[in-house]
Amino acid sequence: MIHISIEGRLGADPTPHEDYGNVTNFNLAASQGKDKDPVWFQCSAWDTLADNIRKWFKKGSGILVHGRLCPTRYEKNGKTIHDWEVKVSSFDFPLSGGKKKEEATDEVVEPEIIEDNGEATVAHCPDITEENK
């Protein structure tokens, strides 16, 4: 089993697929550095994790996902396509808020603890805007 952690940005809003149970799919773009194309990952999350991802993230949001890298296979135009999917087991909010340097502030914002089950903590750090100052 291959475990992986990826920090990136969502390419579109997370999509629920309730036909298969409470599952949410999303594509994640991970940067390879300046002037390089990102690497895209297909991700899926289930149950409460799926609900939280739909609640807290949208297209362009930064996220750090942890999970298993699993091979997938599907048919497209009569050809069998082999690909990889990340089965998300947990997520974190990235340390970087993704703000441009000129938008950054020195103000420290404490994250709000959303869920703490003793093994993992999920926290949300609100954005600093002119309205919140």
Residue 119's pLDDT band, with cuts at 50, 70 and 90, is: low
DSSP string covering 109-130: -PPEEEEE-SS-EEEE-PPP-T
Enclosing H/E stretch for 21 = none
Query: Would you identify the CATH topology of the domain 2-99?
Result: OB fold (Dihydrolipoamide Acetyltransferase, E2P) (2.40.50)
Copy the structure tokens of residue 30: 């991970």
Provide the residue ranges of all domains of the chain, joining segments of one domain with +. Answer: 2-99
- What residue has token string 């697929």? 17
What does the pLDDT average to over 127-131? 42
Asked if 62 and 95 touch (Cβ cutoff 8 Å), the reply is no
Q: Give the chain's radius of gyration (CA, Å).
A: 17
Give the residue from 23, 17, 11, 103 showing the smallest Cα distance to 61: 11
In angstroms, the CA 6 to CA 103 distance is 25
Facing residues of 112 across strands?
Answer: 124
User: What confidence score (pLDDT) does residue 92 get?
Assistant: 93
Residue 34's pLDDT band, with cuts at 50, 70 and 90, is: confident
**Given a cut of 50, is residue 61 above it in pLDDT?**
yes
pTM: 0.66
74 compared with 14, residue with greater pLDDT: 14
- 17: three-class secondary structure by DSSP: coil
